[in-house]
Copies of this chain bind each other. A is one copy, B any other.
Amino acid sequence: MSTLTSQMSISLDGFVAGPNQSVENPIGEGGMRLHQWALATDSWRAQHGVEGGEHNIDAQVVEGLMRDNGAYIMGRKMFGGGDGPWDESWRGWWGEDPPYHVPVFVLTHHAREPLEMEGGTTFHFVTDGIESALEQARGAAGERPVAVAGGASAVRQYLAAGLLDELYLHVAPVVLGAGERLLEDVGDPVLEPVEVIASPVVTHIRYRVAR
Protein backbone atom coordinates (compact mmCIF):
# COMPACT_ATOMS: atom_id res chain seq x y z
CA MET A 1 0.00 0.00 0.00
CA SER A 2 1.37 3.41 -0.89
CA THR A 3 2.58 5.64 1.95
CA LEU A 4 0.87 8.84 3.07
CA THR A 5 3.23 11.77 3.49
CA SER A 6 3.02 15.46 4.13
CA GLN A 7 5.51 18.31 4.07
CA MET A 8 5.05 21.71 5.64
CA SER A 9 7.06 24.83 6.35
CA ILE A 10 6.76 25.67 10.02
CA SER A 11 7.98 28.50 12.21
CA LEU A 12 10.26 27.89 15.15
CA ASP A 13 7.28 28.54 17.41
CA GLY A 14 5.14 25.97 15.61
CA PHE A 15 2.97 27.99 13.23
CA VAL A 16 2.27 27.01 9.63
CA ALA A 17 0.28 30.17 8.89
CA GLY A 18 0.21 33.64 10.37
CA PRO A 19 -2.71 35.27 12.19
CA ASN A 20 -5.81 36.73 10.49
CA GLN A 21 -6.06 34.29 7.60
CA SER A 22 -8.62 35.36 5.01
CA VAL A 23 -9.72 34.57 1.48
CA GLU A 24 -7.43 37.35 0.28
CA ASN A 25 -4.52 36.25 2.48
CA PRO A 26 -4.95 32.51 3.12
CA ILE A 27 -1.51 32.16 4.65
CA GLY A 28 -2.08 34.88 7.26
CA GLU A 29 0.01 37.87 8.23
CA GLY A 30 3.70 37.09 7.99
CA GLY A 31 2.95 33.57 6.76
CA MET A 32 4.96 34.03 3.58
CA ARG A 33 8.09 34.33 5.74
CA LEU A 34 7.82 30.56 6.28
CA HIS A 35 8.21 29.94 2.55
CA GLN A 36 10.98 32.35 1.63
CA TRP A 37 13.50 29.50 1.65
CA ALA A 38 11.51 27.75 -1.10
CA LEU A 39 10.55 30.80 -3.13
CA ALA A 40 14.22 31.71 -3.44
CA THR A 41 15.04 28.45 -5.26
CA ASP A 42 15.19 27.86 -8.99
CA SER A 43 13.28 24.61 -8.66
CA TRP A 44 10.24 26.19 -6.97
CA ARG A 45 10.24 28.92 -9.57
CA ALA A 46 10.46 26.45 -12.43
CA GLN A 47 7.52 24.47 -10.97
CA HIS A 48 5.49 27.68 -10.95
CA GLY A 49 6.61 28.99 -14.34
CA VAL A 50 8.92 31.69 -13.00
CA GLU A 51 12.52 32.16 -14.12
CA GLY A 52 15.61 32.59 -11.97
CA GLY A 53 16.25 31.62 -8.39
CA GLU A 54 19.09 29.94 -6.59
CA HIS A 55 20.29 26.42 -7.24
CA ASN A 56 21.26 25.34 -3.74
CA ILE A 57 20.60 22.55 -1.27
CA ASP A 58 17.11 23.90 -0.65
CA ALA A 59 16.43 23.74 -4.38
CA GLN A 60 17.33 20.05 -4.30
CA VAL A 61 14.90 19.55 -1.43
CA VAL A 62 12.13 21.30 -3.39
CA GLU A 63 12.82 19.10 -6.42
CA GLY A 64 12.34 16.00 -4.32
CA LEU A 65 9.09 17.15 -2.75
CA MET A 66 6.82 16.68 -5.76
CA ARG A 67 8.77 14.26 -7.92
CA ASP A 68 7.36 10.94 -6.78
CA ASN A 69 3.85 11.61 -5.57
CA GLY A 70 1.10 9.71 -7.36
CA ALA A 71 -1.80 11.71 -5.94
CA TYR A 72 -2.51 14.58 -3.55
CA ILE A 73 -5.13 15.34 -0.94
CA MET A 74 -5.89 18.91 0.04
CA GLY A 75 -8.36 20.77 2.22
CA ARG A 76 -11.06 23.00 0.83
CA LYS A 77 -9.37 26.18 2.03
CA MET A 78 -6.15 25.28 0.26
CA PHE A 79 -8.05 24.79 -2.99
CA GLY A 80 -9.70 28.13 -2.27
CA GLY A 81 -12.75 29.88 -3.65
CA GLY A 82 -14.36 30.69 -0.30
CA ASP A 83 -16.72 28.73 1.91
CA GLY A 84 -20.09 27.20 1.09
CA PRO A 85 -21.41 25.93 -2.25
CA TRP A 86 -19.02 26.19 -5.16
CA ASP A 87 -18.65 29.14 -7.45
CA GLU A 88 -17.66 26.95 -10.40
CA SER A 89 -15.69 29.73 -12.01
CA TRP A 90 -13.09 29.09 -9.25
CA ARG A 91 -10.46 26.72 -10.65
CA GLY A 92 -7.81 26.93 -7.90
CA TRP A 93 -4.95 29.32 -7.30
CA TRP A 94 -2.55 27.83 -9.79
CA GLY A 95 -3.80 28.78 -13.27
CA GLU A 96 -4.65 26.26 -15.99
CA ASP A 97 -1.54 24.10 -15.47
CA PRO A 98 -1.24 23.47 -11.70
CA PRO A 99 2.09 22.13 -10.39
CA TYR A 100 0.62 18.77 -9.30
CA HIS A 101 0.39 16.84 -12.62
CA VAL A 102 -1.50 13.95 -10.95
CA PRO A 103 -4.99 13.57 -9.44
CA VAL A 104 -5.74 15.86 -6.48
CA PHE A 105 -8.53 14.99 -4.04
CA VAL A 106 -10.12 18.02 -2.39
CA LEU A 107 -11.85 17.53 0.99
CA THR A 108 -15.12 19.45 0.93
CA HIS A 109 -18.70 19.40 2.17
CA HIS A 110 -19.98 20.48 -1.26
CA ALA A 111 -20.12 18.14 -4.24
CA ARG A 112 -18.67 19.21 -7.56
CA GLU A 113 -17.82 17.46 -10.83
CA PRO A 114 -14.15 16.60 -11.36
CA LEU A 115 -12.15 19.46 -12.83
CA GLU A 116 -9.59 18.44 -15.42
CA MET A 117 -6.76 20.92 -15.82
CA GLU A 118 -3.77 20.95 -18.16
CA GLY A 119 -0.61 18.96 -17.49
CA GLY A 120 -2.21 15.94 -15.83
CA THR A 121 -3.81 17.60 -12.81
CA THR A 122 -7.44 16.69 -12.18
CA PHE A 123 -9.20 17.96 -9.07
CA HIS A 124 -11.68 15.49 -7.55
CA PHE A 125 -14.05 16.76 -4.87
CA VAL A 126 -14.62 14.32 -2.02
CA THR A 127 -17.56 14.86 0.34
CA ASP A 128 -17.48 11.67 2.40
CA GLY A 129 -14.46 12.22 4.61
CA ILE A 130 -10.72 11.83 4.95
CA GLU A 131 -10.66 8.04 4.81
CA SER A 132 -12.61 8.00 1.57
CA ALA A 133 -10.30 10.63 0.11
CA LEU A 134 -7.29 8.55 1.13
CA GLU A 135 -8.75 5.41 -0.41
CA GLN A 136 -9.49 7.20 -3.68
CA ALA A 137 -6.05 8.84 -3.71
CA ARG A 138 -4.37 5.47 -3.12
CA GLY A 139 -6.39 4.01 -5.93
CA ALA A 140 -5.10 6.74 -8.23
CA ALA A 141 -1.49 6.65 -6.98
CA GLY A 142 -0.84 2.94 -7.32
CA GLU A 143 2.56 2.18 -5.79
CA ARG A 144 3.54 5.84 -5.55
CA PRO A 145 3.13 7.91 -2.37
CA VAL A 146 0.08 9.99 -1.63
CA ALA A 147 0.81 13.44 -0.20
CA VAL A 148 -1.42 15.64 1.92
CA ALA A 149 -0.66 18.99 0.29
CA GLY A 150 -2.29 20.98 3.11
CA GLY A 151 -3.57 23.01 4.72
CA ALA A 152 -2.75 22.49 8.33
CA SER A 153 -6.20 21.21 9.24
CA ALA A 154 -6.03 18.40 6.69
CA VAL A 155 -2.57 17.35 7.89
CA ARG A 156 -3.72 17.45 11.51
CA GLN A 157 -6.70 15.26 10.73
CA TYR A 158 -4.63 12.58 9.01
CA LEU A 159 -1.99 12.69 11.75
CA ALA A 160 -4.57 12.50 14.55
CA ALA A 161 -6.30 9.58 12.79
CA GLY A 162 -3.02 7.65 12.70
CA LEU A 163 -3.04 7.58 8.90
CA LEU A 164 0.09 9.62 8.19
CA ASP A 165 3.32 7.67 7.57
CA GLU A 166 5.73 10.58 7.21
CA LEU A 167 5.83 14.25 8.17
CA TYR A 168 8.55 16.33 6.53
CA LEU A 169 9.01 19.66 8.30
CA HIS A 170 10.92 22.64 6.98
CA VAL A 171 11.75 24.56 10.14
CA ALA A 172 12.12 28.24 9.27
CA PRO A 173 14.14 30.34 11.74
CA VAL A 174 11.20 32.67 12.22
CA VAL A 175 9.14 33.44 15.33
CA LEU A 176 5.63 34.35 14.16
CA GLY A 177 4.14 34.81 17.63
CA ALA A 178 0.61 33.96 16.49
CA GLY A 179 -1.24 32.08 13.77
CA GLU A 180 -2.30 28.52 13.02
CA ARG A 181 -0.41 25.73 14.75
CA LEU A 182 0.29 22.42 13.04
CA LEU A 183 0.79 20.13 16.03
CA GLU A 184 -2.27 20.91 18.13
CA ASP A 185 -4.94 18.36 18.95
CA VAL A 186 -3.06 15.60 17.17
CA GLY A 187 -2.71 13.27 20.16
CA ASP A 188 0.69 11.86 21.04
CA PRO A 189 2.22 10.51 17.82
CA VAL A 190 5.52 8.67 18.03
CA LEU A 191 7.89 10.38 15.63
CA GLU A 192 11.37 9.42 14.55
CA PRO A 193 13.70 11.81 12.72
CA VAL A 194 15.03 9.82 9.77
CA GLU A 195 16.67 12.52 7.66
CA VAL A 196 17.94 16.02 8.39
CA ILE A 197 19.15 18.49 5.77
CA ALA A 198 20.55 21.82 6.90
CA SER A 199 20.88 25.05 4.97
CA PRO A 200 21.70 28.58 6.12
CA VAL A 201 18.02 29.54 6.01
CA VAL A 202 15.99 26.46 6.99
CA THR A 203 16.31 23.03 8.60
CA HIS A 204 14.55 20.14 6.87
CA ILE A 205 13.62 17.27 9.19
CA ARG A 206 11.87 14.18 7.88
CA TYR A 207 9.93 12.30 10.56
CA ARG A 208 8.65 8.78 10.25
CA VAL A 209 5.40 8.34 12.14
CA ALA A 210 5.55 5.07 14.05
CA ARG A 211 2.48 2.89 14.39
A-B residue pairs, 9 tightest by C-beta: A196-B198, A173-B191, A13-B183, A14-B14, A175-B183, A193-B203, A203-B205, A13-B14, A173-B193
Beyond known contacts A175-B189, A177-B188: 16 more, CB 8 A cutoff:
A12-B14, A12-B169, A12-B207, A13-B183, A14-B14, A173-B190, A173-B192, A174-B191, A175-B183, A175-B186, A175-B187, A175-B191, A193-B199, A193-B200, A193-B201, A195-B198
Range, interface on chain A: 20 to 34
Bound: A185/B181 CA distance, A: 16
The chain A residues found within 8 Å of chain B, CB to CB, are 12-14, 169, 171, 173-175, 177, 181, 183-196, 198-203, 205, 207
